[in-house]
């Protein structure tokens, strides 16, 4: 349930924006219309919410690790395993915090941190980026998926066929 609460907060905050945010995105789209078409979405984000989510994750991992230690204290290696997982999470969070600080630093003086999804029908990317003066000055990719162009073509053809059938049906009923 906590995950849904945090996700809800991120979604709500992502939808909250100021006119300057629209300006930064519009500047980019006007300056680079061809590149901008490849972005499925670009939404301004508040990195404080992402930090809060990291804190929530840390609490969950700590709770799990301590419960594991309590429940299986007699099993050899469990305590070390739980401590290792807490240490790995702490290191990962520290790295993530530093990356957020870098994005904020780059967005000072008129820049904007955004979440994005980019797709050129061969590669799908999701992550954060910084827009400033109509340029993408930093792109922090979270995930990258190689898309099978043959499959995309097949899906496009299927969608076109469905669209054609729908138009035929709706034109025939008028």
Helices within the chain (DSSP H only): 2-15, 19-31, 33-36, 47-71, 78-107, 149-172
Cα dihedral across residues 61, 67, 73, 75: positive or negative:
negative
Q: Report the run of H or E that residue 110 belongs to, with start and end.
A: none
Phi, psi torsion values for 173, nearest 5 degrees: -95, 0
Q: How far apart are CA 120 and CA 154, in angstroms?
A: 16
Does pTM top 0.85 for this prediction?
no
Per-residue pLDDT of the chain (174 residues; tens, 9 = 90+): 554 444 444 444 554 545 557 889 999 999 999 999 999 999 999 999 989 998 898 999 999 889 988 988 888 988 899 899 999 999 999 999 999 999 999 999 989 999 999 999 888 999 999 999 999 999 999 988 887 777 777 878 888 898 888 888 877 655
């Amino acid at each position: 349930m906590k995950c849904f609460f945090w996700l809800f907060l991120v979604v709500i905050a992502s939808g909250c924006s100021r006119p300057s945010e629209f300006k930064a995105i519009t500047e980019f789209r006007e300056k680079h219309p061809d590149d901008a078409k490849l972005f499925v979405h670009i939404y301004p984000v508040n990195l404080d919410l992402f930090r809060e989510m990291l804190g929530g994750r840390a609490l969950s991992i700590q709770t799990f690790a301590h419960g594991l230690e309590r429940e299986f204290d007699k099993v050899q290696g469990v305590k070390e395993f739980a401590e290792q997982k807490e240490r790995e999470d702490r290191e990962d969070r520290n790295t993530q915090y530093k990356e957020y600080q870098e994005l904020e630093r780059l967005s000072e003086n008129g820049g904007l941190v955004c979440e994005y999804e980019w797709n050129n029908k061969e590669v799908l990317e999701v992550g954060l980026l910084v827009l400033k003066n109509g340029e993408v000055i930093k792109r922090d990719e979270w995930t990258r998926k190689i898309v099978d162009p043959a499959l995309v073509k097949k899906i496009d053809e299927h969608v076109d066929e469905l669209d054609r059938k729908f138009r035929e049906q709706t034109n025939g009923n008028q």
